[in-house]
Amino acid sequence: MAEEGQLPKSSPPLGMYPSRLDDKGRIKLPTAFQQYLSSLPEKRLFVTSLDRRIAQIYPIEVWRQNEKFFQERKNPKVARKISFNAADLGAEVEMDSQGRITFPPELRRELGLEEQTLRLYAGSSGRIDVMSERMYEERKRESMTISDEELDEAETYGLN
């Protein structure tokens, strides 16, 4: 079992995965994500959006780290905005036996997640980001503009 403030021993999968919401607002997670979430000691999840553009699925122990951030309020204005977004659009959920997670109706509507392919990917923080097709295309266009100088700078700072 991971100690509070640490990531679980299992790591989220690498790569970008497609999925969709069904007519009941549930997302069927790819097998790699199901295995990752099933390996966690606590099964509760928090589904929300911090920026009202991209959804996040947080293992509850990772979300607790964010709650500490909100309490510390190193930047109270930013913490208040992010905390409000998360509370307004979020809900605690659990993955069902078929690997599905229900997204709150407010989150689905605000982010326009219905009736399209969604893109899932995980970062080192342990959360899973869920992007609409529009956000995926926006990020893809933005990422295509990376220059050789930017890559060189990243390598200078430790990118292998």
CATH of the domain at 73: 3.40.1550.20
Residue 159, domain member (yes or no): no
Supply the Cα-derived Rg of the chain in whole angstroms.
Answer: 16
**7 lies in some domain:** no
Tell me the average pLDDT across 30-42.
93
Across all residues in the chain, what is the average pLDDT? 90
Helices 60-72 and 76-89, axial angle in degrees (round to 10): 140
DSSP string, 80-100: HHHHHHHHHH-EEEE--TTSE
Per-residue model confidence as pLDDT tens digits over 56-83: 999 999 999 998 888 876 788 888 999 9
Tokens standing for residue 19: 């999925």
In the chain, the number of structural domains is: 1
Query: Is 67 contained in some domain?
Result: yes
- In a domain, residue 94? The reply is yes
pLDDT-derived band at 9, boundaries 50, 70, 90:
low
pLDDT of 7 strictly over 60: no
Q: Is the pTM of this model over 0.75?
A: yes
Indicate whether 150 belongs to any domain: no
pLDDT at 136 over 80: yes
Q: What is the mean pLDDT of residues 136-147?
A: 94
Q: In this structure, is residue 149 part of a structural domain?
A: no
Nearest of 115, 110, 122 to residue 57 by alpha carbon: 122
- In this prediction, residue 123 has a pLDDT band, given cuts at 50, 70 and 90, of confident
Over range 10-23, report the average pLDDT.
91
User: What is the span of the domain harbouring residue 60?
Assistant: 16-133
- On whether the CB atoms of residues 21 and 118 are closer than 8 A, the answer is yes
Q: pLDDT tens for residues 84-110? A: 999 999 999 999 999 999 999 999 999
